Amino acid sequence: KKSSSNKEPKLNPHAVRFVSITQIAALKGLPRVYLGQVLAHEATHAWLALNPTRKRGVVGENLRFGVTRKIPTLVEEGCCQLVAYLYLDYLLDGTSSQLTSDEKVLVDYCKWSIRTHSIHEYGEGYKQAGNAYNHIIDNGGSLSNLLDYVCLHMSFPPC
């Protein structure tokens, strides 16, 4: 009979995961506006996965090397949708003279599709992320503050 002290502790598969990012792939031929939105979303997944706070955990947590605490899907997808939306806002506000009229229409459509997404984790996640972001901005914070909070607490900050 093996001693229980020699056994590896069982990990809740929903609480942690092993993460390795080697590439972000995108389909060839996408319109540049849509490609940018997709890359902003996927780059946010990568940033969240590789964030040192999330990888180290918090005081008292015993994480093995390579283990990353899992952010709830609604929270992670909400953050990714928010960053994609902010990218689209930037396209309209920062470079509108460089967009064709068709691209401006596509930006508006992409923003609408993020706001009204029918999959709960994406649509509701975006709404909660947007509320948290607006609260942080109103109090002198930034997007970085929101993402750091999410990595530390695995949730959105209270509004």
- pLDDT score recorded for residue 76: 97
The verdict on residue 112 lying in a domain is yes
The verdict on residue 159 lying in a domain is no
The verdict on residue 127 lying in a domain is yes
C-alpha 107/C-alpha 36 separation (Å) is 10
What is the number of domains present in the chain?
Answer: 1
Contact 79, 122 (CB under 8 A): no
The verdict on residue 158 lying in a domain is no
Q: For residue 126, what are the domain limits?
A: 4-153
Q: Which residue has the higher pLDDT, 77 or 22?
A: 77
Mean pLDDT across the chain, nearest whole number?
85
Tokens 């792939």 locate to 25
Q: Which residues contact 24 (CB under 8 A, 6 or more apart)?
A: 39, 42, 43, 46
- pLDDT score recorded for residue 4: 44
In the DSSP assignment, the letter for residue 30 is -
Q: Which residue has the higher pLDDT, 62 or 102?
A: 102
C-alpha 134/C-alpha 153 separation (Å) is 18
Helix (H, G, I), strand (E, B) or coil at 22: coil
- pLDDT score recorded for residue 49: 86
pTM of the prediction? 0.82
pLDDT tens across 63-83, in order? 665 566 789 999 999 999 999
Query: What whole-number percentage of the chain has pLDDT above 90?
Result: 61
User: Pseudo-torsion of CA 121, 126, 132, 137, nearest 10°?
Assistant: 160
Q: Which residue has the higher pLDDT, 66 or 128?
A: 128
- pLDDT score recorded for residue 16: 54
The verdict on residue 10 lying in a domain is yes
Q: Which of 86, 87, 81, 75 is nearest to 113 (CA)?
A: 81
